Amino acid sequence: MDRLHGWRDAVGEWFDQIALQTPARLAVGGFASIILLITGLLSLPFATASGQRAPFADALFTATSAVCVTGLTTVDTGLYWSDFGRAVILVGIKIGGLGIMTLASFLGLAVSRRLGLTQRMLAADEARAGGLGDVKHLLRTILIVSTGVELTITLILFPSLWRDGLPPLTAAWHALFYAVSAFNNAGFVPNDTGLVEYAGDPWVALPVAMGVFIGALGFPVYLNLIRAWRKPRTWSLHTKITLVMVALLSVFSAGMLALFEWNNPTSLGAEPVGTRLITLFFASVDQRSGGFAAISHEGFHEHTWLLEDVLMFIGGGSGGTAGGIRVTTLAVLLLAVAAEARGRRDIEAFGKRIGTESLRLAVAVTLISLFFVIIGTGAILMFTSNLHWSLDKVLFQVVSAYATCGLSVLSSEQVAQMPEIVKHITSALMFVGRLGSVTVAASLALNKQRRVIRYPSERPLIG
């Protein structure tokens, strides 16, 4: 027993030393390792329905999309992969949704029955916990909420899928796949037609939409609501901002989509009124992060694509399974503009003052994200010049990848023609987008510099 305890302590100390020196690089390395493992499993011959080994570019793309909970694909998930391949994809989605550092904390508890200081710091950063004291409660909440929501959605979906003619085991498997994919905002589907055939079925579309909505809120919000759901006044500023922004963006999304597409014969206009209403509700929570296509986006107007670009770039709540710059980032930027317009010194919301550190971080996240989107768009345009892909389609694809949303406006023929270099660029965008631009930027920095001397202040002209 003494030897076992010594081994546990040695492993814990080794982990703490490495993580303390380069925590951001550890997160990047952890995600990369999981992606390579999933890629290797998907490269096995029995991972495909045909029994032939999948090309490396497609296996890597699918693995990255699964672990980064994106949902973009280069092959049809329901037709190309075998049951084993789809099970591997589902495991990748679950790991990516929980987060590598959160999973590492679970493993640390299982091995050593304790959480070290560095492990707490990493888990708190991964899940955006408010403080180190919240981490154990947060981890428990993550496990309970994610498992509970996924099982509930599975039980709701199973009767509808069985009723529509699927064998019981297949219906149960598809229900579980949809549930895990929905809560983790992954956008993967187990069948070849996806949710298109269920667009008018409220017992399928609405549970999936609710899974996407709950998953996108963020784990810190769950923890806050569980602790004080009867006392809204005691909710944290983060929770209040997240709930308000998500509600406003959902209403805005549904309203603008109805305005643009209600009478479009190539999209909503071709559907019955009931199906249109269900699709609008579904899209109001799905457009920013879910990645499920209850209706083909190829038939949308170009200005609708631009609207979706903006919504995907914003994303969902911090510390959850959604992507994008996050709704709290947008809220801080808007509040800063409002404060400047009113001539106020402080940024305020719900009776609280938001510090300049939050504003600087919001500006950094937004600008770095814009940088990756612009570079990615230019690179893909350059490598697809012979295919004549339009700017609006390429921009949509890049934003969807970086924001880990998973929606696509490319036709099946265009996806089949996608060069390998474009697949790798898109994979890189998904990887950077899932980890967060700030985390990636921090991982590239060799050392953090603390300056003792500060220069005198002076204001340059702006605008």
Give the tens place of pLDDT for each residue, 301-338.
999 999 999 999 999 888 778 889 999 999 999 999 99
Cα separation, 283 vs 90, in Å, equals: 23
Confidence category of residue 446, pLDDT binned at 50, 70, 90: very low
Query: Which tens digit of pLDDT belongs to each residue from 276-290?
Result: 999 898 988 888 888
Q: Is the dihedral of CA 251, 255, 256, 261 positive or negative?
A: positive
347-349 vs 352-354, strand pairing mode? antiparallel
Structure tokens at 303: 């200005």
Cα separation, 6 vs 17, in Å, equals: 16
The mean per-residue pLDDT over the stretch 6-24 comes to 54
The mean per-residue pLDDT over the stretch 426-442 comes to 80
The Cα-based distances of 188 to 49, 58, 310, 336 in angstroms read 17, 15, 22, 37
Q: Nearest CA to 211 among 97, 100, 73, 326?
A: 97
Confidence category of residue 412, pLDDT binned at 50, 70, 90: confident
Distance of CA 169 to the CA centre of its chain: 29
117-131, 350-364, 379-393: which has the minimum mean pLDDT?
Answer: 117-131
Cα separation, 235 vs 359, in Å, equals: 21
Query: Which tens digit of pLDDT belongs to each residue from 221-267?
Result: 888 888 888 888 888 898 999 999 999 999 999 999 999 999 999 88
Cα separation, 240 vs 253, in Å, equals: 20
Highest mean pLDDT among 125-134, 216-225, 283-292, 377-386: 377-386
Model confidence at 438: pLDDT above 80: no
352: phi then psi, degrees, rounded to nearest 5: -125, 150
